[in-house]
Structure 1
Amino acid sequence: MRHRTRLSMLALGLTASLAASAAGVRSPSMLANTCAGCHGTNGASAGEQMPSIGGMDNGYLFSVLSDYKTGVRRSTIMGRIMKGYSDQEIWAIAAFFAEQPWVSTDRVALAGPIHVGRDIHERQCESCHEDGGREQNDDSPHMAGQWSGYLRYALEECRAIGRRCSPRKMGLRVMDLSDEEIEALARFYESEK
């Protein structure tokens, strides 16, 4: 799925929207309502272990959701949910959330871990997650203002699978981080509103 071009994903999404409208099938907002129980209304999560997804790049979301569907990305429930959707429906869900506003966590930051996390970010992460994790694209999600609990989980998962993490360079960069460094990095991103 990662090899699809942005243009073919756009065409897929347009085709899905037109087909849904013509056939009276579920709308993108209807499809996305399935996600609200965990990811919050319009993708603004209210819980530390669940990522906010509203306002994320649609190409990134499509890739992640497709990876859940095919089993490339491990999950407890996301894989089962995504298997129930066609590629067109997954694109419609991704596009719906991409159009929503990003909502940062309102958690107050702790100064100590933030400084350590900022140093790690500048050394190892800034080349892909520019502007403190605010910049995003098909390969890197919006991380500034994301819940630290979810970020910690995601970083630990990536560290556990190392070179098999996607993208591979991500796995290589987190393989040697300690639990304390992962916590500091997660707290840093959470503090970047």
Structure 2
Amino acid sequence: MKDRTRPSLLALGLMASLTASAAGVRSPGMLANTCAGCHGTLGASAGEQMPSIAGMDNGYLFSVLSDYKTGLRRSTIMGRLMKGYSDQEIWAIAAFFAEQPWVSTDRVARADQIRVGREIHERQCESCHEDAGRAQDDDSPRMAGQWSGYLNYALETCRDIGRRCHPNKMGERVMALSDQEIEALARFYESEK
């Protein structure tokens, strides 16, 4: 005999579907949950090769995510993920992470790396990445407190593609840097909080 006091699974599914439709598109938090596996809970990465994205400028994040979607920015996974989102959803994801607090790494570099990295920063990077890499805007991400493993990878990739790096001036500025200089620059930024 059927228990008529409990709604059927079909009825529960229908009610959930109607409730979700009435509420509109998925919430920014729900959309951003997809990113947690690589970029950490609320965008604070716990792994050296993945960038922290919490607290980044929302215009910058939207631009980067859109570039992944269109293929302008090369990737292995990000491009495929972003193709599944509308521009409105990508903006919601960017805004969600922009609202989260920045969490710096707790690493400290050797003094010689910090000195060399600071010299390179002041000579080649300060005009866009002001305040030792803490300043950010639509074109420039926060660098201070970011993982050196990720920064090293990003700088090497930019150096390898040269003027095709986005923005172009970035590629021009890192083309002449040696592996040791890139590592020192990445360690310098990582040690800044």
For structure 2, the residue ranges without an aligned partner over 5 or more in a row are 1-19
Structure 2 counterpart SS, 1:85: coil
Equivalent position of 2:185 in the other structure: 185
Give a deviation string over 1:67-125, Cα, whole Å, max 9, x none: 00011111110000001000000000000000000000011222111100000000000
Equivalent position of 1:158 in the other structure: 158
* Separation (CA, whole Å) in 1 of partners of 2:171 and 2:102: 26
* Separation (CA, whole Å) in 2 of partners of 1:116 and 1:54: 28
Structure 2 counterpart SS, 1:131: helix
* Separation (CA, whole Å) in 1 of partners of 2:135 and 2:108: 22
TM-score after normalising by structure 2: 0.88
Task: Note if contact 1:59-1:138 (Cα within 8 Å) is conserved in structure 2.
Answer: yes
Task: Note if contact 1:21-1:27 (Cα within 8 Å) is conserved in structure 2.
Answer: no
Equivalent position of 1:59 in the other structure: 59
Letter in 2 for 1:142: R
- Root-mean-square deviation (CA, aligned residues, Å) is 1.2
For structure 1, the residue ranges without an aligned partner over 5 or more in a row are 1-19
Equivalent position of 1:38 in the other structure: 38
Give the greater-gyration-radius structure (CA): 2
Equivalent position of 1:11 in the other structure: none
Identity of aligned residues (%): 87
* Separation (CA, whole Å) in 1 of partners of 2:22 and 2:109: 48
Matched, 1:133 2:133: yes
Equivalent position of 2:16 in the other structure: none
* Separation (CA, whole Å) in 1 of partners of 2:80 and 2:146: 24
* Separation (CA, whole Å) in 2 of partners of 1:81 and 1:156: 24
* Separation (CA, whole Å) in 2 of partners of 1:154 and 1:33: 24
TM-score after normalising by structure 1: 0.88
